[in-house]
Chain A
């Protein structure tokens, strides 16, 4: 298995633009998590899904952020409109339910100018 796949790896955009981050979890994993990592706030959980259904989105910072999981092999995190304070590394992770050992993707480094 290739592990959790994220795209793009780097994204540079201008304030006000829409940004879409993509994630392909490990096949067979029932849970999918989106995290954001910054120096100031560390690693924050934004939202997680179980069997494609959003379970907890309490970490989503504001309405500009939205996440979907249309099927078991694909998820998106969208920011519209983007702001400079959204600059961070965004990670996707997936796991089996019995262990909660999470497998992380390589991350997307987002820079909003």
Chain B
């Protein structure tokens, strides 16, 4: 079963604009991760944020985590055509190595 739910399901933006997507989850987590999947490829890890962290940056990516609301957001700044992909959040529970993935947000960056 899917723990996380991404919102929106799809997003279309112009190159150079920022893209924001959200993830909500249901139960307590240890870590929350974001992955990217290009069409026809495997998932690629982008960033991990621990449950005791509130914000994390990696290049053009910014992730926030609000454990009181059981939600996270992923911001991609100054988007490029190469950012066109599906983005998934994944959570793991304390003392459990399984990752539960959301349904993903499909991002299209128009040139």
A interface, CB within 8 angstroms of B:
4, 31, 33, 42-43, 45, 48, 50, 55-56, 91, 93, 97, 99-107
Contacts and interface: CB of A to CB of B under 8 A. Distances in A.
Main secondary structure of the interface of A (DSSP, over half): strand
Contact of B45 (A91, A102, A107): A102
A55 B42 CA distance: 23
Main secondary structure of the interface of B (DSSP, over half): strand
A107 B31 contact: no
A104 B99 contact: no
5 contacts: A42-B102, A101-B33, A101-B48, A103-B45, A107-B41
Interface centre among A43, A91, A103, by most B CB within 10 Å?
Answer: A43
A100 B92 contact: yes
Given A31-B97, A56-B98, A104-B42, A99 B48 contact: yes
A107 B102 CA distance: 18
Contacts of A33: 99
B41 to A, nearest CB: 6
A102 B99 contact: yes
Contacts of B104: 42
A71 to B, nearest CB: 20
B10 to A, nearest CB: 14
B43 A104 contact: yes
Q: Chain B interface residue count: which class?
A: 20 to 34
Interface in B71-111: 88, 92, 97-104
Given A45-B100, A101-B45, A102-B99, 10 more contacts: A42-B2, A42-B101, A42-B103, A93-B42, A99-B48, A100-B31, A100-B97, A100-B99, A101-B33, A104-B43
The 8 A-B residue pairs with the shortest CB-CB distance in the complex, in nearest-first order: A104-B42, A43-B101, A104-B43, A101-B45, A42-B103, A106-B42, A107-B42, A105-B42
A97 B94 CA distance: 13
